[in-house]
Amino acid sequence: MNKIVTRRTLHETVTLMEVEAPYIARKAKAGQFIILRIDEEGERIPLTIAGTDQEKGTVTIIFQKVGATTQRLDCLNENDFLLDFVGPLGTPSEIDEWKGKKVAVIGGGLGVAIAYPQAKALHEAGADVDIIVGFRNASLFILVDELEVACNNLYVVTDDGSNGNKGFTTTALQEQINAGVKYDCVIAIGPMAMMRAVCNMTKPLGIPTVVSMNPIMIDGTGMCGGCRVTVGGETKFACVDGPDFDGHLVDWDEAISRSRMYKKEEQLSTEKHSCNLMDVELQTKRGGN
Amino acid sequence: MPNMRMTKLPAREQDPNVRNKNFFEVSQGYDEEMAIDEAKRCLNCKHKPCVAGCPVNVRIPEFIQLVTEGKFMEAYDVIRSTNALPAVCGRVCPQETQCEEKCVRGIKGEPVAIGRLERFVADYAMAHGAKSAIPQPDNGKKVAIVGGGPAGLTCAGDLRKLGYEVTIYEALHTPGGVLVYGIPEFRLPKQLVRDEIKTLQDIGVKIETNMVIGRTITMDELFEEEHYDAVFIGSGAGLPRFQKIPGENLNGVYSANEFLTRINLMKAYTFPETDTPIQVGKNVAVVGGGNVAMDAARSAKRLGAENVYIIYRRSEAEMPARVEEVHHAKEEGIIFKMLTNPTEILGDETGHVNGMTCVEMELGEPDASGRRRPVVKPGSEHPVDVNTVVIAIGNSPNPLIKNTTPGLETQKWGGIIVNEESGKTSREHVYAGGDTVTGAATVILAMGAGKTAAKAIHEELSQNL
C-alpha cells in the first residue's frame, strides 16, 4: 500500500500526484517508470516517473485522464492509498553521454511530464539543453515554470497559437536548425505521431534521436512480452530493453497499431467507470475544485 | 489385505462439455471413502521406490497407510514434513514420471493414485484446520528469498522451520509465481494457493510484494544494507520466447505468459467487472506442445473460442505435456494439429491477426533432446483460419538479476550456474534453484531445488551459530 501525499490538478485532464515509495525514490533515474494498481479489480498500468523527493521518500507521477484506470486514479485524494506501486522499472536514459553536448529535448502534451526529468538530468549533468514543448492550446500548459530552469533555451508552441507562438514541435525544431543550431542529439517524448514526425525530420539530417516508448504492458519485468516493439527489425521488450530506443529504427506503424489494440475494451471500461453520479460525488468531496 | 484392483479409482470430474465453459476446477478429487479405497491398493513396500521418485521425498507409503486408517490429519503432517505445498503438488505434479512411475502396482496394471491421495489429504486437512508446524526459536540469521514461486516458497518454509528470519521478495503484487500467473484456476484454484502461502506466513515467513530485486533493491544492497546472511534466487524462467516469424507482433498474438497472466493473475475472464481486458477470437491457435500450451488452449475455449487448435511441430508422442492434460484438452474439444509448424502470421489492414500460414512436418533423425527432429515436408504450405495466436514455445530465465549482480556466473542461454548438490552459485552466500537454473521445468523440480538450497544454506550458516 502506498499513500498519496500530494494531489494537484495541473489542468482539467492532467493530474500530479506524489506517492510515498521510499525504496523507489532512492533508486529512480530519469527515463524509468513505475507500475501501479489501484485496487483488487484494477489493471496494472505503467507511468513514467516525473520526479522524486528522496527526503520525503516520494515519487511523482503525472497522468492524463484517458482511460478507465487513469479516470479512477484521478478520483483518489491525498491520504488515499494505492494498492500496488512497483519500480523503478526499465533501463535509465543515457545522460552522461551527452555531457558538454548540444541536446534538444522535445515534449508533446503529457509527454512534457516525462521530458522534464530527462531535460533536468541532462542540464544538471552539464549538457547544453534546449527544450521545445508543444501543447494543443495555452490552457493545457504543464510544468512550464519548471522547464524554464532546466535548460538554456525554452520554446513553447501551441497548435492553435493561443500563446502567441503557433506551430508544432517539429516546426520549432526546424526553425532552430534553420537558424544554424547544431544538435548532437534530439530526445523526443510525447504522442507517437509526434515522435514519428520528429524522427522523420531528424533522420535525413543524421541527428541521433532517442524516443521514449510507452506501450501496453502487464508485469514490467520482461515476463509478459506485451510491450514488444520492433527496433531495427528486431523485437525488443520496452519494459527491460527500453523504454528509450533509437527513434530512427522504431517500426512506428506497428507501434501505433499495437497501442490501439484494446481501444474497444478501453471504451467499455471507461463508460463503466464514468457515471455522472461519481462525478457529482467527487465535486462535493473536493469542494468543487 | 490390500485392494488388488488393477486400476486407479477415477477422481470425480466436471463433465467436459460443462467445464469447457467455466473456470471451476475440473477435478473434484476423492471423498473420504474413495481415498480409503484407493489407499488400500498400496502394498506398503519395504524398499519404497515411490519415495525415491519424489523430488522432495514425501514419505508416501507412510502417509497412505494413515489414509487407510482414516487418520487424514496425521497423514497430512507426514506429507507436510517434507512438502511445503501438498495441495498444489497433488494437483500439478507429473506423478506419472515420478512417484507413480516407480510404484510396484504399476508393473501389472495402474500404479496407486498417489497424486490424488496427496490432494485429498491436503484438501481434507486444510478444510479441517490443520495446524502449521511450530518453527524452532529464532537463530538470529537472516535469509532473503528472491521470487515467491514454488522454489522460493519451499526454500523459505524449510529455513523458517529451522529458525531463520526469512523474507521473500516478490516482483508481482501477489506471491505464488507460476502458481498464480501461469496455471489456470480450473487446474489449481487460486484460493488454495493463497491458503498454502498463508500456512507459511503463519509460521513467520515474511513476504514483501512489488519488490523487483535488481531494480528496487540490488543483490549487493541485500547484503550490505539489509544485512542478510544468505540469498536464494528462485526468480523463474520469465522471459517468453517467440518463433521469430513474420507477423508475431500483430495485434491478437500473445505470448502464453501474457495470455495466461491476463486471465489468471488479472482475472480478465471477468472483464469488465475487473479492468484488465483480453481478446479471444472465434478461432484460436496455440503454438507449442507443453502443459502451458494445454493451459492456454483450454482457457481460450472457456473464454468462448469456437475452434481452438494446438499446433505442434512434432507428433503427439513427443509432446512434453502430461498425458492427463492432453486427455482433458481433447475431451474439452481442443483440436490437435500435429506435425504442423507456422511460418507466418497474417494480418488485416488494422494490424490484427486474420490468418496463419503453416507447413507440414515429418520426423527425421533424433536430435540433441533425443526426440526425432521435425523436418519440413516440401510443398506442404497451407493456410489456417485464425484470429488469435498464442505462442507457447517456452521461456528463458529473466536476465534482470544476472545483469545487476556482479560475479554471478550464468550459462550462455542465461541460466544461473550452480553446484547441483547445494544450489551454490559463483557468488558467496548466494544460492539459486528452479527454472532460473534449469530453464522452464516443473513445479516439483523447482521445489526440490528450493529444498536442496535450504539444506545447504543451513549447513553454511549453522557453522557459526
Burial class from Cβ neighbours inside 10 Å (0-12, 13-18, 19+) for residue A234 reads exposed
Minimum CA–CA partner of B236 in chain A: A223
**DSSP state letter for B211:** -
A37, A84, A269 ranked by CB distance to B272: nearest: A269
Residue B426: all three cell numbers together = 559463483
**DSSP state letter for B352:** B
478444510: which residue's cell?
Answer: B127
Cβ distance of A265 and B244 shorter than 8 Å? no
Nearest chain B Cα distance for residue A126, angstroms:
26
pLDDT at B43 over 70: yes
**DSSP state letter for B130:** P
Round to whole Å and give the CA distance between A239 and B343: 27
pLDDT at B18 over 70: yes
Strand arrangement of the beta sheet that strand A153-158 belongs to: A153-158, A128-135, A102-108, A185-189, A209-212, A244-246
Round to whole Å and give the CA distance between A242 and B245: 22
Round to whole Å and give the CA distance between A17 and A9: 9
pLDDT at A78 over 60: yes
- CB contact set of B123 (below 8 Å; sequence gap of 6+): B29, B87, B90, B192
Q: What is the mean pLDDT of residues A209-224?
A: 94
Interface-testing mutation among B212, B270, B387, with chain A (most A C-beta atoms within 10 A): B212
B265 alpha-carbon distance from chain centroid = 14
pLDDT at B77 over 90: yes
Round to whole Å and give the CA distance between B290 and B287: 9
The three-class DSSP label of residue B302 is: helix
Residue A264: what are its φ and ψ, rounded to 5°?
Answer: -65, -45
Round to whole Å and give the CA distance between B150 and B440: 13
Q: What is the mean pLDDT of residues A13-27?
A: 95
The three-class DSSP label of residue B9 is: coil
Q: What percent of chain B has pLDDT over 70?
A: 100
B172, B248, B254 ranked by CB distance to A219: nearest: B172
Model confidence band, residue B29 (pLDDT cutoffs 50, 70, 90): very high
Round to whole Å and give the CA distance between B369 and B411: 18
538470529: which residue's cell?
Answer: B140
Residue A218: all three cell numbers together = 502487464
Residue B421: all three cell numbers together = 548438490
Q: Which residues on chain A place their C-beta less than 8 Å from a C-beta of chain B?
A: 23-24, 27, 37, 41-44, 68-69, 83-89, 218-219, 221-226, 228, 230, 235, 240, 253-254, 257-258, 260-262, 265-266, 268-269, 272
Cβ distance of A68 and B275 shorter than 8 Å? yes
Round to whole Å and give the CA distance between B400 and B398: 6
- From first CA to last CA, the distance across chain A in angstroms is 27
Cβ distance of B257 and A37 shorter than 8 Å? no
Q: What is the mean pLDDT of residues A180-201?
A: 95
Nearest chain B Cα distance for residue A270, angstroms:
9
B173, B215, B273 ranked by CB distance to A84: nearest: B173
pLDDT score, position B135:
82
Model confidence band, residue A287 (pLDDT cutoffs 50, 70, 90): very low
pLDDT score, position B366:
87
Q: What is the mean pLDDT of residues B260-275?
A: 92
Interface confidence (ipTM) of the complex: 0.90
Nearest residue to B295 (alpha-carbon basis) of B266, B255, B344 = B255
**Mean predicted lDDT score pLDDT of chain A:** 90
Q: What is the mean pLDDT of residues B47-73?
A: 96
| Residue B461 near residue B415 (C-beta atoms within 8 A) | no
**Mean predicted lDDT score pLDDT of chain B:** 94
pLDDT score, position B390:
98
| Residue B28 CA: distances (Å) to CA of A283, B31, B34, B91, B325 | 50, 9, 12, 11, 15
pLDDT score, position A274:
63
Residue A123: all three cell numbers together = 542540464
Nearest residue to B461 (alpha-carbon basis) of B412, B419, B416, B428 = B428
pLDDT score, position B131:
77
Minimum CA–CA partner of B353 in chain A: A261
B171, B244, B252 ranked by CB distance to A221: nearest: B171
Nearest chain A Cα distance for residue B267, angstroms:
8
The β-bridge relationship of strands B206-208 and B165-169 is parallel
Residue B442: all three cell numbers together = 516443473
Nearest residue to A188 (alpha-carbon basis) of A26, A12, A31 = A31
| Residue A152 CA: distances (Å) to CA of A104, A120, A149, A180 | 10, 11, 8, 16
Round to whole Å and give the CA distance between A206 and A183: 10
Residue B406: what are its φ and ψ, rounded to 5°?
Answer: -65, 140
Chain segment A28-72, per-residue pLDDT in tens: 999 999 999 999 999 999 999 999 999 999 999 999 988 889 999
Rg of the Cα trace of chain A? 19
Q: What is the mean pLDDT of residues A133-138?
A: 92
User: Kindly report the CA angle at A34 between A33 and A37, in degrees rounded to 5?
Assistant: 150
Chain segment B117-148, per-residue pLDDT in tens: 999 999 999 999 887 778 888 999 999 999 99
**Is B210 at the interface with chain A, CB within 8 A?**
yes
Q: Enumerate the residues of chain A whose CB falls inside 8 A of the CB of residue B273.
A: 41
What is the Cβ-side half-sphere exposure of residue B163, based on CA atoms within 13 angstroms? 10
The β-bridge relationship of strands A153-158 and A84-89 is unpaired
Nearest residue to A212 (alpha-carbon basis) of A227, A224, A226 = A227
Residue A19: all three cell numbers together = 506517492
Interface-testing mutation among A221, A239, A274, A275, with chain B (most B C-beta atoms within 10 A): A221
Minimum CA–CA partner of A224 in chain B: B258
Peptide bond into B111 cis (omega under 30): no
Residue B140: all three cell numbers together = 538470529
The β-bridge relationship of strands B382-384 and B353-366 is antiparallel
Minimum CA–CA partner of A251 in chain B: B249
pTM of the model: 0.93
Round to whole Å and give the CA distance between A49 and A17: 11
pLDDT score, position B365:
87
The three-class DSSP label of residue B403 is: helix
Residue A45: all three cell numbers together = 498500468
Residue B160: all three cell numbers together = 523458517
**Is B239 at the interface with chain A, CB within 8 A?**
yes
Round to whole Å and give the CA distance between B157 and B152: 8
Burial track B60-73 (b if 16+ CB lie within 10 A, e otherwise): bbbbbbbbbeeebe
A36 alpha-carbon distance from chain centroid = 15
464514468: which residue's cell?
Answer: A274
B172, B212, B255 ranked by CB distance to A89: nearest: B212
Q: Is A161 left (phi over 0), alpha (psi -120 to 50) or beta?
A: left
Minimum CA–CA partner of A87 in chain B: B216
Chain segment A28-40, per-residue pLDDT in tens: 999 999 999 999 9
Minimum CA–CA partner of A33 in chain B: B215
Round to whole Å and give the CA distance between B55 and B451: 9
Chain segment B362-402, per-residue pLDDT in tens: 998 888 878 888 999 999 999 999 999 999 999 988 888 99
554471478: which residue's cell?
Answer: B408
pLDDT score, position A9:
92
Residue B248: what are its φ and ψ, rounded to 5°?
Answer: -70, -15
Q: What is the mean pLDDT of residues B256-276?
A: 93
Q: What is the mean pLDDT of residues B186-196?
A: 94
Concatenating the DSSP letter of every residue in chain A gives: -EEEEEEEEEETTEEEEEEE-HHHHHH--TT-EEEEE-STTPPPEEEE--EEETTTTEEEEEEE--SHHHHHHHT--TT-EESEEEEEESPPPP-GGGTTSEEEEEEETTHHHHHHHHHHHHHHTT-EEEEEEEESSGGG--SHHHHHTTSSEEEEEESS-TTS-B--HHHHHHHHHHTT---SEEEEES-HHHHHHHHHHHHHHT--EEEE-----SSSSSSS-TTEEEETTEEEEHHHH-SEEEGGGB-HHHHHHHHTTTHHHHHHHHHHH--HHHHHHHHHHTTT-
The three-class DSSP label of residue B408 is: coil
Residue B274: what are its φ and ψ, rounded to 5°?
Answer: -105, 160
pLDDT score, position A76:
94
